[in-house]
Structure 1
Amino acid sequence: MKKSIAIIGSGFSALSASCYLAKEGYKVTIFEKNSSIGGRARQLKKDGFTFDIGPTWYWMPDVFERFFNDFNKKPSDYYELEKLNPAYSVYFDKDDYITIEDTLEKIYLAFEKEEPGSSKKLKKFIDNAQNNYEVAIKDLVYRPGVSPLELVTPVTIKKIHQFLSTIKRDVRKEFKNNRLAQILEFPVLFLGAKPSNTPSFYSFMNYADFGIGTFHPKKGMYQVVLAMEKLAKSLGVDIKTENPIDKIIVDKGKATGIISKGKTYNADIVLSGADYHHSETLLSKENRQYSEKYWSKKTFAPSSLLFYVGFNKKLKNVNHHTLFFDVDFEAHAQDIYDTPKWPENPLFYASFPSITDENSAPDGKEAGIFLIPLAPGIEDTEALRTLYFNKIIDRFEDLTSQEVKDSIIFKESFCVNDFIKDYNSYKGNAYGMANTLMQTAFLRPNLKSNKVENLYFTGQLTVPGPGVPPALISGKLVADLIKKHQV
């Protein structure tokens, strides 16, 4: 008789795990608290506009390919992928920006134009980043974080200095031009920590950025969710939406099921892809691995203030992805990580998917997504949201030399309180636990409970870490672990 598995949540890691487990013959049921699947990667549709609520960057296409290949499928069986050119632009002042295009050769030229001689340094930097990418994405991130020895290989021993140095130190040592340095420091923000706290080894993110490039699935990132849902269902996975979990049932030290909306569902194994901290609150205290003190001491990735805006005209002087680095990065970073508070002058990011994808907005109109990184756990009110929207729109108009306020049809916002309400996110964090040196690999929360038998976890608070590609990998890692321990 097939063993049954109850999976809590339907984000990328949970969907990934469900596919691998169903393929192995387990009877898999997913329980999702919201009315639609995808976890943070949901959609907002309004007045003919379509927005990705969560992730908007498609990086590391090889990880997606590897996932689908494991089921004798490929991404193109489900969605159409387009490489963006330009990948993104970075504003530093009014009408003053650097554009990152779609090949290394073009990026070398952009660096050389900004600072003569910098392209040679960049080539050396990217060569090392590519080597790190080969080591990390082809090997290390596919290890389950069970033992420190997983990190000890002939290659990593040679690279030990790259775990002890930081991205910021290495970048600033070679690149004196602050604008170029900031562009090279930008990708590690996806890991949820400051460049000054991120090990140099994570430069593989720079290769993902410059060497592989930025892509866009036609009709948005939600197409990946729909693809995984289709695959999961074809493998026999049952998905129940609007089923929040009240409790994880533990009997004699063993997980035996869950209670959802007052109804008991028995299962041989329970796997939570929900927020790890929240998942443990579904257990009695004696069955929790980590205390509130443990979580409070961890470095969490930022939360975000997001706006989804419909414009009644096409915008100019922006690309699909556009970053606004016209203010002090260090001051904003301090307001996130060191002395948590609302930033005086925030950096922000904007995405205009309708520049690339006609499905995102009605003809002649523009869909805009604006994101301000924030410290998790800070106060969140409508008044603050309005204040900060006006701050960034004023700057946006000035930097891009256009008026847009009168062209706004609507705006919807999403912030700390929503991350908590919709995703049970610890302190309203947006990306999980940061990948600092002391929160890497085996130093992250465990995939397998050490207190409760047959209870497992997956997602951005465990290994390998934040981001969509790592979430796919996390699902595979926990499925492999379950298979190993259940044999």
Structure 2
Amino acid sequence: MEKIKKITIIGSGFSALAASCYLAKSGHNVTVYEKNATIGGRARQLKKEGFTFDMGPSWYWMPDVFDRFFADFDKKTTDYYELIKLSPAYRVYYGIDDFITIADNLTEIIAAFEAIEKGSGALLQDFMARAKSNYDIAIKDLVYRPGVSPLELITTKTALKVGEFFSNISRDVRKKFKNERLIQILEFPVLFLGAKPSDTPSFYSFMNYADFGLGTWHPKTGMFDVVRAMESLALELGVAFETNANIEKIIVENKTAVAIQVNGTIVKSDLILSGADYHHTETLLDQEFRAYSEKYWDSRVFAPSSLLFYVGFDKKIENISHHALFFDVDFYQHAKDIYDEPQWPKEPLFYANFPSLTDKTAAPEGMESGFFLVPLAPGINDTEALREEYFDKIIDRFETLTQQSVKNNIIFKESFCKNDFVSEYNSYKGNAYGMANTLLQTAFLRPKLKSKKVKNLYFTGQLTVPGPGVPPALISGKLVSELINKQFSEQ
């Protein structure tokens, strides 16, 4: 294969970091340009007054995908960071002293289901067997295909599953289970894919296996451990990093990407790969070179945005787990407020994460670090007043449901919402997770890894193949690097 002189990568999120490692391993000269002061994209870290927060992803699922990534470089995750399996995995709160605990193993989860709804234990066992089968097909095979052709989805194994692409998670779960709480717990994992359970193909039940079958893990000092690990690997492979490097334009000559303009300086390159927001990246091109119109982007189903709070407490918080979901209000009304009639939800579901329960470095001794998240419609109106109003709403409920006072123990809180997703990450409509994995936005129906209009311009990340989430981002980086290497081997 001909070795090219220089590959420029825009952005330093998980997909860009993964691609940088694969391309450097292939012998290319790779430089990563990041507009912010630190790398990691949405997985940056916030440090304040002795507290440490992961600013974005906080769930470590599908450990096998991370293992597979590092194994591609003859490394192990343990060469870089330590993993802790969370026990319990998480709790789901429904009322005062009323919650369901999700254990760290399937046997106990089956028993918990059976205790709530007689007969549901055996049904869950059957459901999980199918979910594992789907996981084996999807994660070990399908998602490692580049989304170039519909034929990629047709294998001897998927032929037996074709009906699962045309049914949906919600319908499947409701056929088996009647208890509304159990239904919501089984529908919850697909929310990571960015769409309502009723719009997510049944095949994606593999997320339930990721949840109950493989468990929920936590890198010892947070998700930023993974960013540090990938940066360390990239540096070992010879990748260069430039931070505070805002890309202003992608320069095209003879329908070929030849350079970027970064902070007013032209940097020539043999190939450009963007791990930044796909829509934003195309705005760096002159109109004639954009493969997707504004109408196209506006017609897509996007994953939610989020209202996030990073909170430092001056005491330990009680009656809580590392991950906690608050489903004490109408699950389906909130989904409707995100997807069907976009608006701020009157009664929001929310998620809370207390990393200092697991990681003693996340907060000073005797204190607690808390991360709160409310899913919101992308493109929504975002003001400081609304942020304050919703913080008060969720903290009042948090105090009631966990039966303690915490409001007067807040040392500080930092918020992050739609406007910040736009300004910090150039995120389309301020979405937090990318483009949803609905039937019509799966695999070859997603925006392409390779530009259709500009030679030597490629894309990676959550708006392209395979989709939202950290494990898919690692896979996206691998897929695009393989396409790039294929192009150069054919020249």
TM-score range, shorter chain: over 0.9
CA distance in 1, matches of 2:82, 2:259: 38
Within 5 A, what are the aligned runs for 1:68-467?
68-467=70-469
Letter in 2 for 1:331: Q
CA distance in 2, matches of 1:353, 1:167: 30
CA distance in 2, matches of 1:335, 1:116: 33
Letter in 1 for 2:134: N
Give the secondary-structure state (helix, strand or coil) at the position aligned to 2:41.
Answer: coil
Q: What's the CA shift for 1:473?
A: 0.2
CA distance in 1, matches of 2:4, 2:297: 36
Letter in 2 for 1:51: F
CA distance in 2, matches of 1:165, 1:270: 39
Q: What's the CA shift for 1:208?
A: 0.3
CA distance in 1, matches of 2:403, 2:380: 33
Give the secondary-structure state (helix, strand or coil) at the position aligned to 2:42.
Answer: coil
Q: Percent identity?
A: 69
Letter in 2 for 1:148: P
Give the secondary-structure state (helix, strand or coil) at the position aligned to 1:322.
Answer: strand
Give the secondary-structure state (helix, strand or coil) at the position aligned to 1:206.
Answer: helix
Letter in 2 for 1:384: L
Q: What's the CA shift for 1:3?
A: 2.8
Give the secondary-structure state (helix, strand or coil) at the position aligned to 2:297.
Answer: helix
Could you say which residue in structure 2 is the equivalent of 1:57? 59
Give the secondary-structure state (helix, strand or coil) at the position aligned to 1:432.
Answer: coil
Give the secondary-structure state (helix, strand or coil) at the position aligned to 1:335.
Answer: helix
CA distance in 2, matches of 1:311, 1:101: 27
Could you say which residue in structure 1 is the equivalent of 2:13? 11
Deviations 1:69-103 (A, max 9, x none): 00011111011100000000000111100000111
CA RMSD in angstroms comes to 0.6
CA distance in 2, matches of 1:346, 1:171: 23
CA distance in 2, matches of 1:327, 1:392: 11
Q: What's the CA shift for 1:2?
A: 3.6
**5+ long unaligned stretches in structure 1:** none
CA distance in 2, matches of 1:168, 1:114: 19
For these two proteins, the number of residue pairs brought into alignment is: 487
Letter in 2 for 1:208: A
Within 5 A, what are the aligned runs for 1:460-475?
460-475=462-477
Deviations 1:106-126 (A, max 9, x none): 101111111121100000000
Indicate conservation of the 8 Å contact 2:81/2:225, yes or no: yes
The list of structure 1 runs, each at least 4 consecutive aligned residues, that deviate by more than 4 angstroms after superposition, is none
Q: What's the CA shift for 1:54?
A: 0.3
CA distance in 1, matches of 2:434, 2:257: 25
TM-score, length basis structure 1: 1.00
CA distance in 1, matches of 2:193, 2:141: 18
**5+ long unaligned stretches in structure 2:** none
CA distance in 1, matches of 2:377, 2:5: 42
CA distance in 2, matches of 1:257, 1:103: 51
CA distance in 2, matches of 1:120, 1:330: 27
Letter in 1 for 2:399: E
Give the secondary-structure state (helix, strand or coil) at the position aligned to 2:452.
Answer: coil
Q: What's the CA shift for 1:310?
A: 0.5
Letter in 2 for 1:357: D
Letter in 2 for 1:126: M
CA distance in 1, matches of 2:96, 2:20: 48
Q: What's the CA shift for 1:148?
A: 0.2
Q: What's the CA shift for 1:64?
A: 0.3
Deviations 1:258-290 (A, max 9, x none): 110110111010000000000000000100000
Indicate conservation of the 8 Å contact 2:4/2:270, yes or no: no
Indicate conservation of the 8 Å contact 2:164/2:202, yes or no: yes
CA distance in 1, matches of 2:112, 2:361: 31
Deviations 1:288-339 (A, max 9, x none): 0000000000000000000000111111111000000011111111110011
Deviations 1:207-248 (A, max 9, x none): 000000000001100010000000001101000000010100
Letter in 2 for 1:300: F
Letter in 2 for 1:344: K
Give the secondary-structure state (helix, strand or coil) at the position aligned to 1:40.
Answer: helix
